[in-house]
């Protein structure tokens, strides 16, 4: 004879000792009939309680104090069958708690960035282990998305390179599209209507920032032939002055900190300063000897630099 264990008295009883419950896998309740009568009030008492609950049509919210209909409260096992807080106050409380938890998690992640990244990687590995073909699908999706959104991926790459080299400056895809429209979607070097690419007037390798003021639209052929030369094909060079001053000031601050630490300035850093000075003056500079007294005084007074160590 098949038996089943009661969840209250913990006795093994025959299946006939349990009432039916369609929501359960075996179609029976987890409590036996005897224990169920002890837990649940008799049918007549339950009917009286339900009638008493129906008599309540309104009640005040314990949080906002407003008297609202019973439908404005969630159901529960209280005397009147409804919670003390109205649905609106419950939603506001949940939102506040969610924001506070998110802020606390952000602070913890900032203070424990390495540990947080390791936990994220572990979660990702566990999830991907349950989905064998998901990794390949995600990689394929990224490739397809990158091909369809070249402008966005190029902007992200340029911003990353500028951050890595410490030159600073960022721009968005919208700014790049506006710049192309401003010049009629044509290459500023050859005037062709080929697909345009972003060219840094002062290359990032020579200290140029990734700001939109240091970018000009060129076709791929002209961009490649320009290489690392500082050539501005735009008519107005005034927009480059703030960028050049910022770049020179930043490099000079680094030089001062390097010398204070008793170290020598790298040749790459000197190239960046030369590129920034060339951007400011509108010509390519190879050494300080090429600058006239007026040009040197202009650069020195502009950013209050005493020496550039090159």
pLDDT tens per residue, range 249-270 = 565 566 556 555 555 556 655 6
Least confident of 60-64, 124-128, 306-310: 306-310
**By 3-state DSSP, what share of the chain in percent is helix, strand and coil, each rounded to 5?**
55, 10, 30
Q: What is the mean pLDDT of residues 100-105?
A: 94
pLDDT at 171: 80
Angle between helix 87-111 and 113-130 (nearest 10) = 110
Name which residue leads in pLDDT, 204 or 176. Answer: 176
Which pTM does this prediction carry? 0.35
- State how far Cα 22 lies from the chain centre: 47
Q: Is the pLDDT of residue 247 over 70?
A: no
Q: What single string gives the DSSP state of each residue in 200-255? A: ESS-GGGT---SGGGEEEEEHHHHHHHTT-----SS--TTHHHHHHHHHHHHHHHH
In the chain, % of residues over pLDDT 90: 16
Q: Domain 1-40's class?
A: alpha beta
Q: Residue 239: its pLDDT value, please?
A: 46
Q: Torsion over CA of 53, 57, 63 and 65, rounded to 10 degrees?
A: -140
Mean pLDDT, all residues of the chain: 77
Closest CA to 134 of 143, 124, 144: 124
Tell me the mean pLDDT in the region 69-73: 90
Span of 40-44, 117-121, 142-146, 226-230 with lowest mean pLDDT: 40-44
199, β-bridge pairs: 216
How is residue 120 written in tokens? 């994220």
| Chain mean position to CA 190 | 39
187 three-state secondary structure = coil
Domain extent listing, the chain: 1-40, 114-145, 152-310
| Per-residue model confidence (pLDDT) at position 303 | 47
Cα dist from 227 to 201, 205, 223, 284, whole Å: 10, 11, 7, 13
Residue 154 scores a pLDDT above 90:
no
* pLDDT confidence tier of residue 74, bands split at 50, 70 and 90: very high
């Amino acid at each position: 004879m098949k038996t089943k264990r009661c969840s209250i008295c913990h006795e093994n009883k025959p299946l006939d000792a349990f009432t039916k419950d369609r929501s359960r896998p075996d179609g029976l309740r987890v409590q036996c009939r005897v224990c169920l009568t002890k837990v649940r009030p008799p049918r007549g008492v339950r009917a009286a309680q339900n009638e008493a609950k129906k008599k309540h049509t309104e009640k005040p919210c314990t949080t906002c104090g407003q008297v609202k209909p019973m439908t404005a409260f969630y159901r529960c096992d209280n005397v009147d069958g409804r919670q003390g807080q109205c649905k609106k106050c419950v939603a506001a409380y949940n939102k506040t708690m969610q924001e506070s938890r998110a802020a606390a998690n952000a602070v913890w992640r900032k203070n424990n960035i390495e540990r947080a990244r390791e936990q994220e990687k572990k979660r990702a590995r566990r999830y991907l282990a349950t989905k064998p073909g998901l990794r390949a699908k995600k990689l394929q999706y990224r490739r397809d998305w990158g091909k369809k959104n070249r402008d966005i991926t190029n902007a992200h790459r340029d911003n990353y390179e500028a951050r890595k080299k410490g030159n600073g400056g960022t721009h968005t895809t919208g700014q790049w599209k506006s710049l192309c429209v401003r010049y009629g979607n044509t290459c500023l070097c050859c005037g062709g209507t080929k697909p345009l690419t972003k060219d840094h007037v002062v290359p990032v390798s020579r200290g140029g920032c990734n700001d939109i003021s240091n970018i000009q639209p060129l076709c791929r052929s002209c961009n490649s032939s320009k290489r690392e030369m500082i050539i501005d094909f735009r008519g107005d060079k005034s927009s480059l002055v703030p960028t050049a001053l910022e770049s020179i000031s930043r490099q000079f601050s680094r030089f001062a900190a390097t010398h204070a630490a008793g170290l020598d300035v790298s040749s790459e850093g000197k190239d960046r300063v030369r590129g920034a000075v060339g951007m400011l003056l509108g010509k390519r500079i190879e050494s300080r000897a090429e600058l006239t007294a007026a040009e040197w005084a202009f650069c020195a007074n502009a950013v209050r630099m005493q020496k550039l160590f090159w």
